Amino acid sequence: MFVQNTMTSWRRTLIVAIIGILFLAAIIKYSKACNEAICASVVSKCMLTQSCKCDLVTCTCCKECFSCLSYLYDECCSCVDLCPKPNITDNPLSKKSHVEDFTDPMPGLFQALTAEPDPHERWLTFTFPVDFDMSLFTPKHENKYTMKTSNEEVHPLKPNVMTVNCTVAFMAQCNSWNKCRASCQSMGASSYRWFHDGCCECIGDTCINYGINESRCIHCPIDKEEDDLKDQYDDYGQDEDDLTEDDID
């Protein structure tokens, strides 16, 4: 009897361990293939409405899912396993970034500059929905009435969540850390994210978690076939930034 109970307990432990490993693998796979910053809001909505509940074999929901994901379909279809997974960059510097807030942002200026594509192609803008949990900002036991603009939407299935549009601008060319900070501040951004490969992201005031945690500058980083190992791991423009800081001191 003791041996039988031991075997049963061992089997249960093994099953739990296998389930845990599979669950962890699924999470890792999802995090590598799906950009949560851009897709979290719209994917959550489509999953709640079951608009993307099918697979590529039958594809019975593909049309409905395409409509639900809307203009973010190309960006987010891999999150619901309805298209091939995107390529993941191997550049280690593209995965490291520095973020900082500005004390005196100018949201009106930033919105004006990013409302239309830049005619000189100095930056590329991305706009995507983000969810704010309004219960975190509303005092308890207090009735509060608010006005919402056309860019704000209260989700019918999540009454405490308000969806707003986040806009970020990726500079086309590589920038040093100081140049990125200065450029984003001059555009009226609320914060910025500088990637160690030289890519610079200016972030609007309605974004959370500092925009997109992914290097997306068109002409950056600059690919060089004969870089040595040291150059591959040096931050872009670090000599320029070091010189500027020495001059300031």
What pLDDT tens digit does each residue of the chain (249 aa) get? 544 555 455 555 545 444 443 433 333 344 345 778 888 888 888 988 889 888 878 888 888 998 999 888 888 888 888 877 665 555 666 778 999 999 999 999 999 999 999 999 999 999 999 887 776 656 555 444 444 444 555 555 566 778 889 999 999 999 999 999 999 999 999 999 999 999 999 999 999 899 999 999 999 987 643 344 445 556 666 665 554 554 444
Q: By the 8 A CB rule, do 92 and 233 touch? A: yes
Tokens of 248: 């300031």
- What per-residue confidence (pLDDT) applies to 131? 86
- What per-residue confidence (pLDDT) applies to 248? 43
Cα angle 183, 189, 193 (rounded to 5 degrees) comes to 70
**Look-up: residue for tokens 């361990």?**
17
Q: What is the distance between the alpha carbons of residues 100 and 152, in angstroms, rounded to a whole number?
A: 26
What is the residue type of 82?
A: L
Element (H, E) at 24: helix 2-33
Q: What is the distance between the alpha carbons of residues 4 and 46, in angstroms, rounded to a whole number?
A: 47
How far does Cα 185 stand from its chain's mean position? Answer: 21
- What per-residue confidence (pLDDT) applies to 87? 58
pTM of the model: 0.66
- What per-residue confidence (pLDDT) applies to 103? 93
